[in-house]
Amino acid sequence: MTARVLVPKEVKRGAPFPVRIAIQHVMETGFRYDLFGKPIPKNVVNTLVCRYDGVEVFRAEMGSGIAANPYLQFYTVAGKSGELEFSWVDDAGVEGSERVMVTVVP
């Protein structure tokens, strides 16, 4: 699974900055049927965790009510430069992760 993460080039120390992530995923609801009338099993990204330097800063538990290719924007603060690490898992057990460096300026 691929994902795109976007953070500002530089962030101010202690000031909240926006973090955006878009994961490529069908987010299959489980309510649809294929051409043969067989139900397509539910498969959504159910958990997304974001850590900053190993500390959990954001967690999302999602269901079929989240649109395909889930997009999230949230805020976090940073005291010093570090690494923002995302990891997620879908109902089929497929895991994905993405890392991005955050540069903090005073």
Partner 1 sequence: MTRSRIAVARRRFLQSCGALVVWPTLARAQEADALPALVEKLTGAKAPRDGKVTLDIPRIADNGNAVPLKVKIESAMTAQDHVKTVHLIAEKNPRPLVAAFFLGPHSGKAEIDTRIRLNGTQRVVAVATMADGSQWRGIAEVDVAESACYDATNP
Dihedral class, residue 55 (left if φ above 0, else alpha if ψ from -120 to 50, else beta): beta
Cα 66 to Cα 55: distance, rounded to the nearest angstrom: 25
Residue 33 found at the interface with partner 1 (CB under 8 A): yes
Q: Given candidates 6, 10, 41, 74, which one binds partner 1 under the rule CB under 8 A?
A: 74
Q: Given candidates 6, 10, 24, 71, which one binds partner 1 under the rule CB under 8 A?
A: 71
Residue 57 found at the interface with partner 1 (CB under 8 A): yes
Residue 16 found at the interface with partner 1 (CB under 8 A): yes
Cα 47 to Cα 72: distance, rounded to the nearest angstrom: 12
Nearer CB in complex with partner 1: 15/92: 15
Residue 55 found at the interface with partner 1 (CB under 8 A): yes
Residue 61 found at the interface with partner 1 (CB under 8 A): yes
Task: Output the CA–CA distances (angstroms, integers) from residue 99 to 2, 29, 43, 54, 65, in the order listed.
Answer: 12, 28, 24, 12, 26
Rounded (10°) CA dihedral 65, 22, 20, 31: 0
Residue 2 CB, nearest approach to partner 1 (Å) = 18
Residue 97 found at the interface with partner 1 (CB under 8 A): no
